[in-house]
Structure 1
Amino acid sequence: MQDENGQRALLPGRRIRARGAVTNATGRFEPRRVEAVDDGWDMAEEERLVATEVRLERPRSALSFNKSPDIPFDRSINPYRGCEHGCIYCFARPTHAYLNLSPALDFETRLIARPGIGAVLERELRTKSYKVATVAIGTNTDPYQPCEKDHGVMREVVEVLSAFNHPLAITTKGTLIERDLDLLAPMAAKGLLRVGVSVTTLDAGLSRSMEPRAALPARRLEVIRRLAEAGITVRVMVAPVIPGLTDHEMEPILQAAAEAGAKGASWIMLRLPLEVAPLFRDWIGARHGGHAAKVMARVREARGGKDYDAEWGKRMRGEGMWSELIGQRFRLAVARYGLDMDLPALRCDLFQPPARAGDQLALF
């Protein structure tokens, strides 16, 4: 069942196979809410098998700029909207509401690819007013999610940034990054690249439940190993830390990542903005009901009694006893496993737009 905007309405009690969201709540900007009612017809199999759809968007811009004071970059690129990994905790889910789609199941099944973004990016980098600084990719949705295999939008972007000698920071939990080692390894050798690999848990069952179409933890550790062997500086991201569910795994994750070749580490507390909070509560109640009360109590203790606090400086780490305890454990663990070194800044001095056919050659 769908409404006039194409949002799926799911029958109550139906379990969606290999998806993170257990509902498809209407987006916050929609004028009406649509619910499915079970009329007695047995359509269970059709309801479970929700296929991934990928629509194409002609991008008008590639670079997005921000002035957030608590993140270390001011520009990013989003090759895709939505993410098939289906991580139930993903703080980017609310962005799907701007597309008249649900931040729930639609976010992970109705994706938008942006082919042609490489040409748009090249045009933006060639403008005389452009000032080079590290561009971050993967800070919203994963650029190496499964549909990248068919659409290659991230490959377009990396080809342009490589040609321009532009510094790049990638965040991913996708194995497709290994495909681009032919471009990424030379960038790393020039001091132009850093990669962050997200590892939330070492428990394969828990990972499959909360990140249903992402690579399993052991495979992500192998990605770290392969990137490190290619000479790429890798940072393991213990993110998000879910107090009462995954926080006890911080030290084992850091140790495993260090053994795989990671050189740095970071952590972020679980973030539940807007529609993510009820989606997460529904998920943990349905899939891990025995942990639900403890987890949500600790989340609220770290968020001033609320599910989420978006205040600058607090949204990434939270506050209070649980936040301080996790932070202390993290600092001790990264020192123990050699992940506390200061990683060198990426180089900006090599940036140079490549010559185009027909360009006048320099005389000197």
Structure 2
Amino acid sequence: MTEMPSHLPAAQRPGRAAASNQAGRFEPYVRVPVDDGWGRHEPLPPLQAEVADERPRRMIATNNSPDIPFDRSLNPYRGCEHGCIYCFARPTHAYLGLSAGLDFETRLIAKPTAPIVLARELAQRGYVPKVLAVGTATDPYQPIERDRRIMRGLIEVLGEHRHPFTITTKGTLIERDIDLLAPLAKLGLVNVGLSLTTLDAAVSRAMEPRAPTPERRLLTLQRLSACGIPVRVQVSPVVPALTDHELEVIMSAAREAGAHAASMIVLRLPREVSPLFRQWVVERFPDRATRILNRVRDLHGGRDYDPEWNTRMTGQGTWAQLLAARFELARKRLGFLPLPPLQTDLFTVPKPPDCQLSLF
């Protein structure tokens, strides 16, 4: 038998960024396609997304990373159909026995009981409210949210408790929930980080194939801002030699659309993301692949990725310093300011209808 190429034919993966589906790092076996010698190669059907349900015991995840501005987060889904090739959360699929490649984009996990579990956690005796970051790993407004409505249920719970939270997304479906978010924004309980990596629709389609177009995301930003919801444009990741030249243009377009603040993160390629990105950039941008990959290594001390605190998301070296200087100049010129801190002193624990009333 003859070993076949490890990547899937393009016809089998339309609208997908990853080109392969290598086994996760915890798996004892590696899947290798082979030619069985029969001479018949019937084309396989295009990959379709599959959704399985998970019933979590807890929703709030905590971290003590010194370079992350929050210590707790939650995500209503595992995997993400947006399929962004650069997504740092891809390696988390290995914990499920799945691939960080095409599995991450097509084998999705939903948490339908998430609102119930979250309500139970917030009602625990001694719970101390701090800002809760929603959508830090996978997008809470990816396409399956339209039918599942798990994110909307989470917002309802957080609103009932008057709990502060942030949302990170590139999904325009967030507009559906403006009716819940706008009143909470008036109370200082929510802000939104909208990810915008490029204004080039062709680059966006290749890099984040099932995410809304840049133009459409700008419209969402405008609508959120018009309803009084503070929005931060997240220029992340900045891909060297591919999107870095757009930094100021993206910030300017976002400011014009109503963004209040801006942030930036350079491309990082942890674990399985590195070979996936390498394969992708050679396939999609062969004319500049070598330059992009060399610049990535320059950013991370000669490696595809350096996980050191405080430099992993900014990069290091001359190019990283120049990029940071450009961002700061644009931020000041455009009048971006930090978003106001969210309120934690409004938090309440709703009591069951038959519970005895409090004296105070």
After the TM superposition, which residues 210-359 of structure 1 pair with which residues of structure 2 at under 5 Å, given as runs? 210-339=207-336, 341-359=337-355
3-state SS of paired residue (1:127): coil
Inter-partner Cα distance in structure 1 for 2:302 and 2:102? 28
Alignment pair present for 1:89 and 2:68? no
Kept in 2, the 8 Å contact 1:21–1:88? The answer is yes
Distance 1:12 1:308, change over 3 A: closer
- Tell me the equivalent position of 1:362: 358
Residue of 124, 129, 137 corresponding to 2:126: 129
Distance 1:82 1:304, change over 3 A: same
1:357 deviation in Å?
Answer: 1.1
Name structure 2 gaps, 5 residues minimum. Answer: none
Kept in 2, the 8 Å contact 1:136–1:169? The answer is yes
- TM-score when normalising by structure 1: 0.95
Alignment pair present for 1:206 and 2:203? yes
Inter-partner Cα distance in structure 2 for 1:343 and 1:75? 19
Inter-partner Cα distance in structure 2 for 1:12 and 1:347? 49
Kept in 2, the 8 Å contact 1:91–1:272? The answer is yes
Alignment pair present for 1:14 and 2:9? yes
1:275-310 alpha-carbon deviations (Å, 9 max, x no partner): 000000000001111111000111100100000000
- Tell me the equivalent position of 1:185: 182
- Tell me the equivalent position of 2:42: 43
Inter-partner Cα distance in structure 2 for 1:279 and 1:252? 28
The code of the aligned residue for 1:145 comes to Q
The code of the aligned residue for 1:56 comes to D
Inter-partner Cα distance in structure 1 for 2:317 and 2:201? 30
1:100 deviation in Å?
Answer: 0.3
Instruction: List 4+ stretches of structure 1 deviating above 4 A.
Output: 9-13
Distance 1:323 1:11, change over 3 A: closer
Inter-partner Cα distance in structure 2 for 1:68 and 1:360? 41
3-state SS of paired residue (2:52): strand
Distance 1:13 1:98, change over 3 A: closer
Kept in 1, the 8 Å contact 2:19–2:276? The answer is yes
Inter-partner Cα distance in structure 1 for 2:40 and 2:126? 62
1:84-118 alpha-carbon deviations (Å, 9 max, x no partner): 00000000000000100000000000000000111
1:140-181 alpha-carbon deviations (Å, 9 max, x no partner): 000000011111111111110010000011100001111111
Inter-partner Cα distance in structure 1 for 2:142 and 2:8? 28
Kept in 1, the 8 Å contact 2:7–2:19? The answer is no
The code of the aligned residue for 1:270 comes to L
- Tell me the equivalent position of 1:4: none
Residue of 150, 155, 171 corresponding to 2:152: 155
Inter-partner Cα distance in structure 2 for 1:99 and 1:327? 37
Inter-partner Cα distance in structure 2 for 1:126 and 1:241? 40
3-state SS of paired residue (1:290): coil
Inter-partner Cα distance in structure 2 for 1:252 and 1:154? 31
- Tell me the equivalent position of 2:57: 60
Say how many residue pairs are matched: 353
1:355 deviation in Å?
Answer: 2.9
Inter-partner Cα distance in structure 1 for 2:286 and 2:133? 36
The code of the aligned residue for 1:360 comes to Q
Q: Which has the larger displacement, 35-44 or 170-179?
A: 35-44
> How much identity, in percent, do the aligned residues show?
56
The code of the aligned residue for 1:27 comes to G
1:12 deviation in Å?
Answer: 4.5
- Tell me the equivalent position of 1:103: 100
- TM-score when normalising by structure 2: 0.96
Q: CA RMSD in A?
A: 1.3
Q: Which has the larger displacement, 124-133 or 91-100?
A: 124-133
Inter-partner Cα distance in structure 1 for 2:15 and 2:319? 31
1:38 deviation in Å?
Answer: 4.1
Distance 1:67 1:12, change over 3 A: closer
Inter-partner Cα distance in structure 2 for 1:242 and 1:222? 23
1:45-76 alpha-carbon deviations (Å, 9 max, x no partner): x25x1000000001110100110110100000
1:253-276 alpha-carbon deviations (Å, 9 max, x no partner): 000000000000000010100000
The code of the aligned residue for 2:104 comes to F
